[in-house]
């Protein structure tokens, strides 16, 4: 890895407390653990008992005489509450946080989810209420922060320019906690579109190494709004231009990878002008996962023949078998049966792909034409199930 290790630690360390469920459990775990202590084993005890435990080599149907009985699961069990019906009728911003405190204190995820959805209903299209919730969020930590922001994300008021501006400012604020910045940027993912200026603001956060988790979320939000805008209006180019820039230039591998991944969720047909840049990433990025993602991205373009040429050039130059396998299969996604001569060429260059070539040949000969179905019939023959760096 070229990336400083502190970067990764910061990126994910910053996100550590973001997940609502984790925080809910952590607050509820004391009494819960006590209540369920009969069925919870410590990791040490479990591991100790595991050694030499029966368990079968191929247990299903293998005829092993004995099989260890699994530990008794601690199944999730939501709580019950008096007063929810009355609260539901009289929900207000005044009594909301007190109710949420009860849910959080009890570790009741279902109740917290209800309160989040009820808050969305309460905010509705009311900008004043939305800004009030943002006031709370600014001073909150998880899990309350997640409830406030997720509620706002789904409320109509999130589209109000004043709310959008406030969210962007929270996301950009270098003095704020990264977890709050990330949550604010995540809340913007329900926007129907982003102005050119706001795209640039998100990109700036994404490209700033110091933003860590917030930058990663900013990248995802760019991609998610791109999906929404593209599906509604056909517009994707302004987002994709910046995502490709991030995919080329970010110093953080996770952010580069994500930027190139995001079109997967809406499949815009990439213009011919992107092919050269994607080809360069596919050949030159120092991380194999990013090179693979660039190969992935090249498969849905306006000019599949240019993509096939890019694959033809990249394949012999690539040293990693798994990236070669990506180039090979995405050539098929780009060209269909017309890619078979190229596959034959690749198989001649690297005999490890001869069986793959024959597989695709047979699948197309069977009458299938849709790559989705071709892929369903394709056996995966390369040891790429687990990533580089394995075993782990």
Partner 1 sequence: MSPHSREGMTRMNRPSRWRVALLASAAWLLPVTASAAGNEPPLRATTCSFTGMLDELRAALKTGSPAYRKYVKERLKMAARVMPAEELLAAVQRERDPDVLEALGGAVAGKASFSEDASLLQPLLARAASDSDPALRAAAVRGLKGIGSVDAMGKNGNVVTYEQLIRDSAPEVRQAVVENLVHENAKVYFGHDQTVSETAVATALASRDPEAAAKLLSEVSMEQVGHETVEKLRGNLRTDHPGLRAASATALGGVPGAEAASTRRSLVDLYRTDKDPAVRKAALQGIARLGMGGASTTLESLRGVAPGMDAEIDAWQSALRLGLQEWHLVLREKERIRE
Partner 2 sequence: MNAKKMMYAAAALVAGWAGVAVSATAKGPICDTTAYVNSTTYYSCSGSSHTALDIGNGSCNEWNHRGMLAGSYYYKYYGGCAGACYGSTCNGGAGNYYVVTGANGWDFRQLHFYANVSSGSKTCDGCALGLVGGTGQATGPHVHADNRQYATRKSAWYTSKGTTCGTNAYCGNIIGAPTL
Binding interface with partner 1 (CB under 8 A): 28, 30-32, 34-36, 75-89, 91, 95, 98-99, 101-103, 105-108, 110-111, 113-114, 117-118, 120-121, 234, 267, 269, 300, 302, 304-305, 332-336, 338, 366-373, 376
Q: Which of 209, 280, 204, 199 is nearest to 240 (CA)?
A: 199
Selection from partner 1, partner 2, none that 117 binds (CB < 5 to 8 A by kind) is partner 1
Which helix (H) or strand (E) element contains residue 35? Answer: helix 20-35
Applying the rule CB under 8 A, the residues between 188 and 217 that interact with partner 2 are: 189, 213, 216-217
Cβ of residue 305: shortest distance to partner 1, in angstroms? 8
Q: Which does 86 bind (CB under 5 to 8 A by kind): partner 2, partner 1, none?
A: partner 1
44 Cβ contact list (under 8 Å, min separation 6): none
Which structure tokens are listed for 130? 């939305």
| Residues 132-161 within binding reach of partner 2 (CB under 8 A) | 146, 149-150, 153
* Angle, CA 187 vertex, CA 208 and CA 125 arms, to 5°: 145
Restricting to residues 360-379, which ones interact with partner 2 according to CB under 8 A? 371-372, 375-376
Minimum Å gap between C-beta 238 and partner 2 is 15
In the block, residue with structure tokens 């609502």: 20
Question: Which of partner 1, partner 2, none sits in contact with 87, Cβ below 5 to 8 A by type?
Answer: partner 1
Residue closer to partner 2 (CB basis): 37 or 95: 37
Residue 390 site contact among partner 2, partner 1, none (CB < 5 to 8 Å, cut-off depends on kind): partner 2
Q: Is the Cβ of residue 65 or residue 85 nearer to partner 2 in the bound state?
A: 65
Nearer to partner 2, 73 or 94 (CB): 73
* Number of Cβ atoms within 10 Å of the Cβ of 16: 13
Nearer to partner 2, 157 or 290 (CB): 290
Q: Are 210 and 10 in contact (CB under 8 A)?
A: no
Q: Total number of residues binding partner 2 (CB under 8 A)?
A: 98
Applying CB under 8 A, among 74, 131, 237, 368 the residue interacting with partner 2 is: 74
In whole angstroms, what is the distance from residue 12 CA to residue 298 CA?
Answer: 29
CA distance 208 to 365: 50
Best CA proximity match to 356, nearest among 384, 386, 379, 336: 379
- Which residues are within 8 A (CB) of 127 and not within 5 positions of it... i.e. 6 or more apart? 157, 160, 162, 163
């Amino acid at each position: 890895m070229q990336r400083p290790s502190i970067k990764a630690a910061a990126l994910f360390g910053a996100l550590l407390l973001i997940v609502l469920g984790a925080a809910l459990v952590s607050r509820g775990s004391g009494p819960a653990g006590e209540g369920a202590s009969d069925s919870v084993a410590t990791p040490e005890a479990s591991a100790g008992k595991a050694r030499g435990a029966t368990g079968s080599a191929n247990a299903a149907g293998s005829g092993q005489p004995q099989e260890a009985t699994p530990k008794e699961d601690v199944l999730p069990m939501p709580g019950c509450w008096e007063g929810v019906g009355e609260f539901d009728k009289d929900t207000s911003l005044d009594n909301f946080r007190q109710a949420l405190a009860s849910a959080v204190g009890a570790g009741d995820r279902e109740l917290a989810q209800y309160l989040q959805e009820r808050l969305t209903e309460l905010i509705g299209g009311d900008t004043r209420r939305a800004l009030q919730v943002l006031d709370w969020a600014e001073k909150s930590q998880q899990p309350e922060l997640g409830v406030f922001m997720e509620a706002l994300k789904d409320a109509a008021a999130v589209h109000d320019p004043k709310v959008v501006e406030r969210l962007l400012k929270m996301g950009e604020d270098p003095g704020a906690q990264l977890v709050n910045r990330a949550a604010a940027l995540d809340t913007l993912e329900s926007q129907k579109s982003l102005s050119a200026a706001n795209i640039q603001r998100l990109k700036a956060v994404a490209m700033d190494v110091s933003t860590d988790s917030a930058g990663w979320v900013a990248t995802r939000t760019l991609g998610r709004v791109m999906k929404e805008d593209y599906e509604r209006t056909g517009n994707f180019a302004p987002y994709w231009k910046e995502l490709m820039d991030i995919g080329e230039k970010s110093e953080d591998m996770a952010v580069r990878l994500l930027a190139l991944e995001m079109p997967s969720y809406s499949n815009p047909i990439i213009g011919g002008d992107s092919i050269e840049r994607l080809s360069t990433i596919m050949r030159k990025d120092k991380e194999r996962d990013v090179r693979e993602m660039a190969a992935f991205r090249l498969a849905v373009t306006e000019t599949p023949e240019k993509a096939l040429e890019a694959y033809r050039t990249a394949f012999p130059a690539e040293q990693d078998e798994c990236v070669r396998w990506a180039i090979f299969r995405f050539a098929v996604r780009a060209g269909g049966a017309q890619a078979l001569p190229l596959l034959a060429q690749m198989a001649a260059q690297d005999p490890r792909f001869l069986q793959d070539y024959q597989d695709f040949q047979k699948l197309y000969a069977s009458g299938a034409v849709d790559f989705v179905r071709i892929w369903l019939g394709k056996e995966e023959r390369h040891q790429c199930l687990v990533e580089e760096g394995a075993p782990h």
